[in-house]
A and B are shown apart, each in its own frame.
Chain A
Amino acid sequence: MRTVTRASGIPRLGAAAAAASGLALGLVFFYAPIEADQGFIQKIFYLHVPLGIVSLSGFVAGGIFGLQFLRTGDRRWDLRSYVAIHLSLILSVAVLATGSIWARASWGHWWLWNEPMLVSFLVVFLMYCCYQPLRFAIEDPERQARFACVFAVLAGAFVPLNFVAVRMAQAVTHPRVLGATGGSMPGSMRLTFLVSLGAMALVYLSLYRLETARKATAIELKRLRRRLEARAATEPRMERV
């Protein structure tokens, strides 16, 4: 497997993510108005919704990368798929936690089992929790990559289907943020939301690039060590010949 580690852009991406996050925080707390219905608690919206969108997009990206691996057989696509899913899974923990805190503050409950949006996200999260055990239960690297990518493609296709199904379902409590009615935010709120979404995407991208570079370097090192050991094992024999 040929690995390419282009780590040169990571500090710049990290700096952009930090600057965008700072700007987003400034807009959230000093520019966006206090929402009339929920009050100050609505500030969680600017964290929770971008987190949810970015983590679900990461799952879909993992599926697309998996499909690329199945098409080309290039192991770099499998690595990209793995990192995208791994990172999205970690962000999903934050989505569930922040959502739960918001639910407690505005509905008086940590969790509502009759709310399709919450339960469907939990289903997606639990489904992706199976990805790593499945992946690492297979020892042969070639089969491991193939099985993991098949899972990534199927699960990645399930994410948008699930999203559409939930939006078509009757909402009980959870608002539909980006719909025809829920999306009609005032300009200042919309700007704050879009900047927060951009900042979250940059945070995700910089962590993704960092982990991809780290993993690719580790794989390259392992490969070099194997070559070195193989050379060390053959050289004494050649000397004897």
Chain B
Amino acid sequence: MPALPLDEAGAYVAAAYAVFVVVLMAYVAIMARHVGRVREDLRSLQDELAHQRED
């Protein structure tokens, strides 16, 4: 096949790079949610420990 004109090729190139960015961002967002959950767990564990010390 002959090379595509720049405007058409540009759309495909942009789509390919956008797919990668979207996959990466989705992964980072899921990771951030998990880190938030770990942080919450840590806080509740610290509270529990503080309660036990008071008792």
Binding site for B on A (CB under 8 A): 37-41, 43-44, 47-48, 51, 90-91, 93-94, 97-98, 101-102, 104-108, 203, 207, 210-211, 214, 217-218, 221, 224-225, 228, 232
* A43 CA / B10 CA spacing, docked (Å): 9
Q: Are B42 and A221 in contact (CB under 8 A)?
A: yes
Q: How far is the CB of A29 from chain B (nearest CB, A)?
A: 9
Smallest CB separation, B55 vs chain A (Å)? 9
Which B residues fall within an 8 A CB radius of A?
Answer: 1, 3-4, 6, 8-10, 12-13, 15-17, 19-20, 23-24, 27-28, 31, 34-35, 37-38, 41-42, 45, 48-49, 52
Which among B15, B24, B34, B52 is the interface contact of A203 at CB below 8 angstroms?
Answer: B24
Q: With A105-B9, A108-B1, A210-B31 as given contacts, are A47 and B16 in contact (CB-CB < 8 Å)?
A: yes
Instruction: List, in ascending order, chain B residues with CB within 8 A of A97's CB.
Output: 16, 19, 23
Since A41-B9, A101-B15 are in contact, a sample of 13 more A-B pairs with Cβ atoms closer than 8 Å, ordered by chain A residue number, is A38-B3, A39-B6, A39-B9, A40-B4, A41-B12, A44-B12, A90-B27, A210-B31, A211-B31, A214-B31, A221-B45, A224-B45, A228-B49
